[in-house]
Amino acid sequence: MTLLLTGVDGQLGFELERALAPLGEVRPSTLSGRTVGGRACLPLDLTDTSALEAGLDRLRPRIVVNPAAYTAVDRSETEPELAQRINADAPAALARWCARHDALLVHYSTDYVFGGESERPWREDDPTGPLGVYGATKLAGEEAIRSAGCRHLILRTAWVYSARFANFLRTMLRVGAERDHLKVVVDQRGTPTTARGLAEVTAQLLGRHGGAAASSLGTLHLTHHGETSWHGFAEAIFARAREAGLIARVPVIEAIPSSAYPTPARRPAYSVLDCSRIRTQHGICLPDWQVGLGQVIDELVGG
């Protein structure tokens, strides 16, 4: 069974290439045709839908896994056309091809499709209301996939990070080594989620449903368990890193409101996702977010 995997030069794509390997022939792809380590892979331009569909015709995968996305939340406010092409038009093209060839499409979406005003975790069928271009284009990608009528699995997740690439954890460790005092937003709440955890659950789901003529798996929420603020996440990062001997000191971490750290794009104040559906339907769940954090810190320590 052939699986096409986009975006292996990103943190989720990197983990997916390893996790999906036991399921069949994984064909990794990037825009440049090279992985981060310089290894040759399939060149695939997600901004060119005609070339994208032509590439799919040549490869003819049974499963398309699409973690690639335009994730520059603030820059998307000034580059909406590029965000639209990558986050909405490309998934639409992938879905149309999958519908014609009875292939399964796995796509990743975001907590940013919601408006952020809630008193409980967001469920899959709650009304959406993105606050900016990034969330709006990711939602448009979801809707295009559903409209295409292909077999699909859309996994909405949040606050993704890993031991590699650019993410909140690595940024905190870098700036914490440079400064004695940091300011981190305290009034945005969500669930830190490891890229490796996402990849492993994806592999479990595809192991059960990937090759079968199953009905659409639909939309599922998938994060680690629990919730925290960005400030709480930062405190936990430094505490775990210090305990593991990864850093010699912990900076002072001041809690600030979002209003004290203005950004071009608005962020949802509350973006915790309710993951009970994937647990009930598939018997799958990720552990508490602090367990995931410990795993990533251990990976950093191990080099």
Catalytic residue numbers read 134
Alpha carbon distance 14, 195 (integer Å): 9
Q: Average pLDDT of 282-292?
A: 96
Contacts of 104 (CB under 8 A, 6+ apart): 62, 63, 64, 98, 150, 151, 152, 153, 206, 209, 210
CB 207 within 8 A of CB 176: no
Q: Average pLDDT of 34-38?
A: 89
3.20.20.140, 1.10.1740.10, 3.40.50.720, 3.40.1410.10: which CATH number matches 2-160+193-224+273-286? Answer: 3.40.50.720
pLDDT at 130 over 50: yes
DSSP 113: G
pLDDT at 276 over 60: yes
Question: What residue ranges do the domains of the chain occupy?
Answer: 2-160+193-224+273-286
Q: Residue 101: its pLDDT value, please? A: 96
DSSP 44-100: --TT-HHHHHHHHHHH--SEEEE------TTGGGT-HHHHHIIIIIHHHHHHHHHHH
Q: Residue 192: its pLDDT value, please? A: 98
What backbone torsions phi and psi does residue 273 show, to the nearest 5 degrees? -105, 135
Using one digit for the tens of pLDDT, what is the confidence trace for 40-78? 999 999 999 999 999 999 999 999 999 999 999 999 999
pLDDT at 235 over 70: yes
Q: Residue 210: its pLDDT value, please? A: 60
CA distance readout (Å), 274 to 61, 118, 194, 221, 284:
32, 12, 17, 7, 13
pLDDT band at 303; cut points 50, 70, 90? confident
pLDDT band at 213; cut points 50, 70, 90? very low
Contacts of 254 (CB under 8 A, 6+ apart): 181, 182, 183, 184
Cα maximum dimension of the chain = 57
CA distance readout (Å), 176 to 114, 237, 245:
31, 10, 14
Alpha carbon distance 51, 32 (integer Å): 14
pLDDT band at 274; cut points 50, 70, 90? very high
Helix-strand-coil split of the chain, %, nearest 5: 45, 20, 35
pTM of the model: 0.95
CB 228 within 8 A of CB 240: no
Q: Angle between the 230-243 and 289-302 helix axes, to the nearest 10 degrees?
A: 40
CA distance readout (Å), 286 to 52, 62, 198:
33, 27, 8
